[in-house]
Structure 1
């Protein structure tokens, strides 16, 4: 039986489906136009400029001092910016090009699903980074460097790209067929052939695994941060010698930096959990042909796309330096150049 969830979503909430899940509606309904403008105003336009601004701040900080965690932030913001640009371009292509063929779907669908899953993998890597930095600082400083996460990001990208090529191996399909016989682009909807459901199941399970990893590791980070925050509040530098006092104070400042950066990572992880968990659950439900209210489905896709916009906003606003730079820019005052988290 043909999956009706995605088809109904196209009829009721066509732009969300077109933009975020690969369906292709040809009816210029009032609902589709309204949702198009909503996506334009809350996802595409603000997402493009906020990611550019976040990348500007990140690159500026990298020029001053580069450390492993900021590489992950750079990759995440770059991925979000690319996803925003591709999402808009993909929507315009599927909206105005009448002839949808397999080659077009096979070109567009893997890129879309790549960014959806890669965002979860990057958040998982950031959670791993913070756990090692805070819970095992000596191991972290000795074995984790900038190149570690450069290689890690490349390996993660290769793994996600391989998963998104499953349909080319016969384990999925980049297209679907409506009840009218019309072909449309969709790779994660329900497939009648059990073999073709492997891709959707693998994608959904990978997404849930990212959620589990983020929740569990960040739980460890939160518990450790609370303990460390208490220690820093009660910290009093030793007065025995100047050198030992300076050394202890330096360690406390470094610990404070790690805690502040962990808070940033926790906020980014929270955004992913809120925006992407319903999406990953929905993908798994679709593989078993579980009916979901079409309006709920539409909002899930819209919220999922909104994560691309919220990530850079969180990075910009949570940092004192960035907030000061923005205030100074609008107030025409010279801002501080010290990176403070």
Structure 2
């Protein structure tokens, strides 16, 4: 496994980061022991970096994985929607308590959009910076689906780490093209920011083109690490082998390709109807203010996700 220093921080992370969202209640909802076992498989294969968030409710999985692995060098990045001192304090204490860690490696402001949202969350950022001075947090930053937030953060001395969405199709980028995002990432990299990408497979919407999707992000030198969601041991083996340029066993490819998948709608969907308009298979419908998937008609093409302004549509 390749390891890189995360920007100007003192953290050295594996190029493959375990995306912790997918095992938890918001997606696969695996039993804690099963999710932890999958994480441990990644750790044993050289992954030393895991991404999570307060929203994901996966702290118990990570805590159990760390207990099973019995090693102290796993780097954890988390994030929350905290906006002031009180909410920031609550988020930090929850993370420390549920992860059973006195010191947090990376803590981010979750889903920042621009200088305006950063201004609205600045009191929380100040609290994190104060804890950084005390040695309770090692690095602070933000996650984002927008080009603008990357551009703004790249110029802020307060920001150590940026976690942007990036994939070959630009799925989920809310305010520009993939070329725009790449340019912003390169500027942030030049300014010494630690950068680890998210959603290289577009939230599952590029599942039919995984090899090319991973090749795309692996060829972006400015990404110190790339978070990939994994729900099975087979997916761990596939991704680790891909990242270390090792042949992937045929049986692993077969198991992954035959895994049953579904179109998943996140709970924050506002039922705006844009996806319904663009579904040529008529597999989506809004009923009583809620987006419904007609499984018998859905072909899992992922086309609808391009039109979701909130990136609520995933293939899991």
* TM-score category of the 2 structures, normalised to the smaller one: under 0.3
Which structure is higher in strand share? Answer: 2
Which structure is higher in helix share? Answer: 1
Higher Cα Rg, which structure? 1
Normalising to structure 2: TM-score of the pair?
0.22
